[in-house]
Structures are given as C-alpha cells and as structure tokens.
Structure 1
C-alpha cells in the first residue's frame, strides 16, 4: 500500500499591525511577528498606513494598497527581509 502525503505550506488567515510590528496568524496555528523596519517601504510608513495591511492571494501575500507594497508570507516566514536588524547601542 502506498501512502501519499502532501504537505502544504502554512498561509496567513489574518494580519494586523501594532506598535510598528506586523503580525500574521497562520493556518497551522502559529502567530508570527516582525518589525516593519525590516522593509524599506514599511519602515518609512506611518502607524496608520501599517494598520491597513490585508491578506491577499488566498493567504500567500500581504498587501498595503496605500503604500503599493506586497510581501509573500513564505518569504516572511523564511526570514527574507530587506534590511538587517538594527545594531544594539553599546
């Protein structure tokens, strides 16, 4: 007997912004968050603009219409950010 197991990557079912962090709730139950400042356009956006995030493409992307910015959920989960973490102040 052959068993076929198909794994699907988790996708976002909800997204929100709070205190310059973007949060995703994924279909596998995880909540993932990242600082907006890890992306060029989001880092320059106001808190009000960040809060206008929408889940698009059946949960595979995040969209900020006013900023004309799109991010893939898979890229975020994999840690593919545009900008490095800020260096701690010594």
Structure 2
C-alpha cells in the first residue's frame, strides 16, 4: 500500500482523522482506541509519524497505530472488551 502514508492528523470529539498523501481522509472512531479516547487534547496532539508516515505514535500514551491496519479496519486489540466498554 504505497499511498497509505499519513501526512496530517486531526481530532474532533468522536473521531481521529488521518489525512493520507494520496488525498484520502480516514475517519476513525476514538472508541476504537481507548487510550486516545481517554487522553487529553494535549496528549493527543503529541504524536509523531513513524516509518515516514506509515505509522502514528504517542510516546506519552504508549500507543502505536499502523496506517495500513487502519485501512483494513483494525482497532486496538491490547485492551480487553471490558476495559474498552468502561473507557467511555
């Protein structure tokens, strides 16, 4: 997936918006990633692109997300369903 490279990231109250180099924008529900959902605005803003835009990384939150996996519909699998249900 050569064009699955992130160039910009933004958030609203319910979604993370991943803007790709090829012009697409992915809207990802924050509920897919409880660490991001529970993070402050400041914590969400402290991300870096890893792998030249192939990934998103938040050091403070211990969160790494692959852009390719977002395109495939993956969500956070490191938390239990019970933790995710109580996160909101």
The reply to whether TM is greater than 0.5 is yes
> Unaligned 5+ residue runs, structure 1?
1-6
Structure 2 residue aligned with 1:31: 25
Asked whether the 8 Å contact 2:3–2:20 carries over to 1, the reply is no
Q: Structure 2: how far apart are the matches of 1:13 and 1:23?
A: 11
TM-score normalised per structure 1 = 0.71
Q: Which runs of 4+ in 1 moved over 3 A?
A: none
Give the paired residue count: 79
Is 1:76 the counterpart of 2:36? The answer is: no
User: Offset of 1:72 from its aligned partner?
Assistant: 0.3
TM-score normalised per structure 2 = 0.72
Aligned match for 1:10, one of 1, 4, 18: 4
- Higher alpha-carbon deviation: 26-35 or 40-49: 40-49
Q: Structure 1: how far apart are the matches of 2:29 and 2:45?
A: 13
Larger Rg: 1
**RMSD after superposition:** 2.3
